[in-house]
Every structure is written in structure tokens, then in C-alpha cells.
Amino acid sequence: MALIRYALYFLGFALLTWMLTQIEIAAPGSLKLHVFVNASDTLGTSEYSVIEWTQVAILAVCAALFTWVTVNCYSQRPISILFGGLAGIFAVRELDYFLDNNIADNVWQVIVAIAAALLIAYIYRHWRRFKIAWLRTWPSPGIALLFAGCLVLFTFARMIGHEPLWEALLGDQYQRVVTLATEELIELVGYYLWLAGTIEYTYQARALAFKEPQPAVAKQRQGRRPKSAGRY
């Protein structure tokens, strides 16, 4: 079953990427990777692109799966709330352009700060449960893929999509669409990994929900039980 899932990941992600590239090749500019929203806009944006909304859709699916785990797999609730919250934070970050322009400037930063503070407070409050849940899931393919997705999003996308890099490489031939397209496509790879990791984690959480506690977990729980004063 796992082999079939991984084959589907490969085929699905490859097909989606092929479709996105073919759309742009067949009709240049159709992906809207560099759009000028008004006459005073001198930089242009990629926030209206199909790729950007594909990323948001992937995050919505991830958040839905983590919500399912939170509701149905009690022992994994601390981890699912953490990663589900991160998926929500990522979605807010992807929608920053619209939040800033339609609500208030930098409002997305306020939302992210509040959400991050709530997540930190929750993990701190339920640290013991989080540690037990983590011991039951790590190492695992799902968590590893989630980590790989974060690595791509927070390192490669930021560094390779850095505008001064492409200005140095292309010199006088530099066009901003190159930076925007590079960053968005690398981010899409990171979200592919996040989606695959979320699905794998959901399968694992579901399996753990129907299994007996592992020795490490049983030992942790035994330490929380009050010790008897005597034999009777």
C-alpha cells in the first residue's frame, strides 16, 4: 500500500507540474507570475498566479488532514495541532498581499504572531503529551517529509529566490519575473513535500490510534500513576 501511495505522489506531482509548465508555454503570461496591478505599480507581483493559489489549496488540504487527526486520534493531538497550526501560518503568509491590501498593512504579521504564540503556549502546556506522541511517531516517513518541506521552504526558496542573486547572475538582462518564478516554483516543491508528509503522517496516526501503547509510552504513563502506600 505504501509503495502505491509513493507512486501516486510521484505521478500526481509530476502531472501537476507538467500541466503548469505547459499552460505557460502554450500561452505566455497565463500563469500570472508577474502582474502589474495598477499604473503606479513599478515592481509587479506573483500573488495572483495559479501557482500561488495551488500552494494555498495544498495547505488547505494539509490543514484538513491535521484537523481530522486532532479529532479522531487523541494520542496524536499535540503533534497534529502543531503542524496544523503551521499549515495555517503558512497559508496566512501566502495570502499576505491580499491581507495587507484589503484589511490593513502588515496585518498578516499580527495574525502569524498571535497564532505562533498560541502554538508555543499550547505545546508548553502539554509538553508531556507532546513528548509521548513524538516518541511514538519519530522517526517516520511523514515527519521526515514535513521536515524536508520546511527545509525547502525556509532555505532553498528564500536563498535561491533571492533577487540580488539573479541580478548578479543575469546582469543587464535581469528581469524580475525570473526571481518570482524561481521562488514560487521552489515553494511549490516544498508544499508537495508537505502534502505527501501530511498524508503519510495521517496514515501513521490512524494506525497508532488502533494499537496498544508502545513500551516507551507505557513507561511514561506508569511514571504518572500514584504509587501505592502498601500492598492493600
**All structural domains of the chain with their residue ranges:** 2-35+43-214
Residue 232 has pLDDT above 90, yes or no: no
Report the pLDDT value the prediction gives residue 151, as an integer from 0 to 100. Answer: 92
Q: Rounded CA gap, 105 and 102, in Å?
A: 8
Q: How confident is the model at residue 117 (pLDDT cuts 50, 70, 90)?
A: very high
Report the pLDDT value the prediction gives residue 225, as an integer from 0 to 100. Answer: 54
In the block, residue with C-alpha cell 515592481: 43
In the block, residue with C-alpha cell 502539554: 126
Q: How confident is the model at residue 230 (pLDDT cuts 50, 70, 90)?
A: very low
Buried b or exposed e, range 22-46, using 16+ CB within 10 angstroms: eebeeeeeebbbbbeeeeeeeeebb
Cis peptide bond prior to 226, omega within 30° of 0: no
pLDDT digits (tens, 9 = 90+) for 210-220: 765 555 555 55
Report the pLDDT value the prediction gives residue 213, as an integer from 0 to 100. Answer: 54
Q: How many H-runs (helices) and E-runs (strands) does the chain carry?
A: 11, 0
Contacts 24+ apart (CB under 8 A), 161-170: 161/186, 161/187
146 is written with which cell numbers?
514535513
Residue 223 has pLDDT above 80, yes or no: no
Report the pLDDT value the prediction gives residue 9, as an integer from 0 to 100. Answer: 92
Report the pLDDT value the prediction gives residue 21, as an integer from 0 to 100. Answer: 92
Contact (CB, 8 A) for 142 and 203: yes
pLDDT digits (tens, 9 = 90+) for 49-100: 999 999 999 999 999 999 999 988 888 899 999 999 999 999 999 888 888 8
Contact (CB, 8 A) for 84 and 67: yes
| CA end-to-end distance (rounded Å), the chain | 50
Report the pLDDT value the prediction gives residue 219, as an integer from 0 to 100. Answer: 53
pLDDT digits (tens, 9 = 90+) for 126-181: 999 899 888 888 888 899 999 999 999 988 888 888 888 988 988 888 888 889 89
193 is written with which cell numbers?
513535500
Radius of gyration of the CA atoms of the chain, in A:
22
62 is written with which cell numbers?
494539509
114 is written with which cell numbers?
498571535
Lowest mean pLDDT among 35-44, 122-131, 167-176, 184-193: 35-44
Residue 5 has pLDDT above 50, yes or no: yes
Give backbone dihedrals phi and psi of 87, rounded to 5 degrees, phi first: -60, -40
Report the pLDDT value the prediction gives residue 208, as an integer from 0 to 100. Answer: 81
